[in-house]
Amino acid sequence: MNQNLPLPKYHQIYLVLCEQLQEGKFEEGLPGELALMKQFAVARVTVRHALQQMAEEGLIKREPGRGTRPIKRGAAVSVSSMGDLTGMGAQQARLTGLLENLVTMGLRTSVKVLSVQTLLAPKDIQDKLQLASIDLVQKAERVRHTREGPLSHITTWVPDTFAKGFGKRELAQKPILVLLEEAGVKVGRAEQTISARLADAEMARHLDVPVGSALLSVRRLIYDDQENPIQWLLGLYRPDRYEYQMQLSRVGSIDAQIWVDKELSANFH
């Protein structure tokens, strides 16, 4: 656990479990108390306190002998302790100048490919990439490093029709956007959302941070020049090694001026 956070250990566990609950990781039920004790390296009373808070908020149901299961709702669970990021007018931005920057980042860092597999696209990936239920995708997981250590954990989903020409060896050598271009894809634009999340045990291990540490969460959908989606990406970045910069200018009449982005960059160290 992160000893520097001004939060009790049970509340850090509560926040991580709530995020995982939102992501649908517990469809078959939450891990048992012993598994959670081992995952977070805490006492049973700490785990029980976290689960009790979730149960009191109506997020889970605990039944002796049957385990702990999420309570299904019509809308996504909102973790009030972290604030409502989407409810504050979060917008998708058209990132025409960012793609070259992403390739530069890929060329200036090293990468470790954790896994590459071809599988049927899950329903949410089907919707994002406009695929049919029988369409295959390539799912790749990588950890990118700078000289100081791990920078990011990246998961990408690419339609199999575009990914047939590259695999684990190629992904370890070149940025995926370069590989797509070499496969004949003309990369066009990207839509990106940046938010925050806490590191669970798996991400803490990959990024060398304590469980419960704050991470930047980047979700990116890339299109080709014909407006067809060609890649969905989820990236988790260490905020002490990655920063995102925008230059803004105001447009419109004096009574209806808005901020628009002029230039974008992503810096890492």
Prediction pTM value: 0.62
Of 90-99, 100-109, 248-257, which range is least confident? 90-99
Q: Percent of the chain having pLDDT more than 90?
A: 32
pLDDT band at 79 (very low <50, low <70, confident <90, very high): very low
CB atoms within 10 A of CB 169: 10
Task: Please give the residue that has the higher pLDDT: either 74 or 120.
Answer: 120
Mean pLDDT of 51-69: 86
Is residue 75 over pLDDT 70? no
SS3 per residue for the chain: CCCCCCCCHHHHHHHHHHHHHHCCCCCCCCCCHHHHHHHHCCCHHHHHHHHHHHHHCCCEEEECCCEEEECCCCCCCCCHHHCCCHHHCCCCEECCCHHHHHHHHHHHCEEEEEEEEEEECCHHHHHHHCCCCCCEEEEEEEEEEECCEEEEEEEEEEEHHHHCCCCHHHHCCCCHHHHHHHCCCCEEEEEEEEEEEECCHHHHHHHCCCCCCEEEEEEEEEEECCCCEEEEEEEEECCCCEEEEEEEEEECCCCCCEEEEEEEEEEEC
d(C-alpha 170, C-alpha 188), whole Å: 22
Per-residue pLDDT tens over the stretch 15-39: 888 878 877 788 888 899 999 999 8
The backbone torsions φ and ψ at residue 4, rounded to the nearest 5 degrees and listed phi first, read -85, -15
- Mean per-residue pLDDT of the chain: 78
The structural architecture, per CATH, of the domain 9-76 is Orthogonal Bundle (1.10)
Task: Please give the residue that has the higher pLDDT: either 185 or 261.
Answer: 185
Q: Where are the domains of the chain?
A: 9-76, 93-268
pLDDT at 233: 94
Mean pLDDT of 41-69: 87
Per-residue pLDDT tens over the stretch 227-259: 999 999 999 999 888 777 666 666 655 555 555
Domain 9-76 shares a fold with domain 93-268: no
Is residue 219 over pLDDT 50? yes
pLDDT at 67: 85
Query: Which of 103-107, 108-112, 149-153, 187-191 holds the top average pLDDT?
Result: 149-153
Task: Tell the CATH topology of 93-268.
Answer: Chorismate lyase (3.40.1410)
Mean pLDDT of 85-99: 35
Is residue 80 over pLDDT 90? no
